[in-house]
A and B are shown apart, each in its own frame.
Chain A
């Protein structure tokens, strides 16, 4: 990327350049000084497209990394094919993304690594808010167990076929999913119980008084 890029003026100057809605610039596809050869996998993407056809919905190339977006009902088949035939035997990470769009609000990403081949591929699955169910890949990658639990806890995406889907970080009776974009960063006052402030168990001072509509006494 050139260092003498001209700066846009006016309200354009405030626009953040790398939101997904921007059309990707051609040099973003290949020019990344940090990209290693491990993430540039056009041959793997071609094999996937050949094998699965239209179920591979999209392929994103950004900063020298390939991301394959797959139909969510086929994720188990895709993962099995990647693990058994193409040698991506290590699931490095699994998680959720909240894009906050009208359609296909969430995404679940799978970072797959082929250790012997030295390849890293990202597989993504788009999930709609009204039907947030994704088949679980625990049978193929047992490491996905806790990551899928975290995804359920933080986003509310259910994984069908998961042996033990319960909350990971928040208490079991927590009513919200914290990493959704509408959840405030400081949390909902009163949603997590605080211990009592007096020896006999009363909580006489409410730390969230303003949120509960009372001005705290000074």
Chain B
């Protein structure tokens, strides 16, 4: 890593700012539901009052990629839809994370056929996979909490600097 003055790696200032920024980001994860199939119903249940999503900060499910930072791919992805999903993912501003919800989004699931992409990680960088067909809302809550933990462990300041940096392996 290049040694720039001010924000040197691991300094006291950066870690404090990191902690605050990560705390803020992890407690306000606004999902963008890419509800494609039956898993979307369980995602709706996750957003409903019983398995409340808004107590984790996911108060609003933003259906516009410009306003969201977590994309939940819920359901199987066909080859045609994959292009639209990739474009929507590209249009989400950083920082962004992705949950592959259910067996079909993770690996193609029960649809082992020519029309279904065998796992959305063939074209998306997935952070958390949720197994289940469909996964219970509690499983999705667990996944969102995993994402929160992942966010809290990031080196946000070092990663998000504005001048172009050569980052090995992101």
Contact = CB atoms under 8 A, between A and B. Distances in A.
A196 interface: yes
Interface range for A:
20 to 34
A4 to B, nearest CB: 36
A186 B112 contact: yes
Interface stretch (B113-121, B145-153, B158-166): B113-121
A195 B115 contact: no
Given A183-B114, A187-B113, A199-B90, A192 B79 contact: yes
A178 interface: yes
A194 interface: yes
Interface in B120-164: 122-125
Interface centre among B79, B80, B113, B125 (most CB of A within 10 A): B79
A169 B115 CA distance: 9
Interface stretch (B50-58, B64-72, B81-89): B81-89
A207 interface: yes
Contact of A196 (B80, B114, B123, B125): B123
A193 interface: yes
B84 to A, nearest CB: 9
A171 B113 contact: no
Contact of A194 (B112, B113, B115, B122): B122
Contacts of B123: 194-197, 203
A185 interface: yes
Nearest to B113: A185
B150 to A, nearest CB: 20
Nearest to A187: B114
Nearest to B85: A195
Nearest to B114: A187
Contacts of A170: 115
A187 B125 CA distance: 24
